[in-house]
Amino acid sequence: MMSITRTPTELRKLVDGLARHPELWRQDVVFDASERQCSLIARTDTVEVWAVAWMPGQDTGFHDHDSSAAAIVVAEGAIVDERMALGAPTIAARHETGAVFTVDAGEIHRVRHTGDEPAISIHAYSPPLDRMGTYAVGAGGRLVRQPVGGDQTLTAD
C-alpha cells in the first residue's frame, strides 16, 4: 500500500493556518519549566501536528525526523533552529512569531528557546513521525545516531 505524504508547501500552509486560529489548539498547551510539553493536535494517515510549549533554556538537542519532513511555525515568542554542518559551525536562525520554516526528512537539526518569555511552536510532520534519531559524540569523536520513537520528548541532555 502506497503512503501519501504532504509536500513542504502543504505543511507550511497547514501550520501557518493553525497559528492563525489558536482557538483550535491553545487550550491544549501546557508550560512546564522542567520539560518541554508537546500536545498532539491532529494525526491522520498522512500528517501529524503538535503544539510545543517552550520555556527559557529548553532545547531538543540535535536530532532528525527519520523519513518525515516537517514544517514549524512560531505561534508565540521566538525559537532558534540550528542545522548541523560538517566541518563548519552550525547554521542558526532565530524565528519570531509568525515565522515558518521547514526541515527536510533526515536533516539533522535542533530547536532551542533562548528568550526570557515562554514560546509556542506548531509542528507538522509528513508522513506522521514514527521514528527520530538523536545524536551524541562517541569514542574518538564519532557522531553516533540513537534511534528513538516518534512520541519521545527530546532534550539536549
Query: What DSSP character marks residue 25?
Result: T
* 113 labeled binding residue: no
* 63 labeled binding residue: yes
DSSP string, 68-121: -EEEEEEEESEEEEEE--TTS--EEEEEETT-EEEE-TT--EEEE--SSS-EEE
How many helices (H) and strands (E) would you count in the chain?
1, 11
Q: How many CA atoms lie within 13 A of 38 on its CB side?
A: 16
* 65 labeled binding residue: yes
* Positions at the binding site for Fe cation: 63, 65, 109
* Positions at the binding site: 63, 65, 109
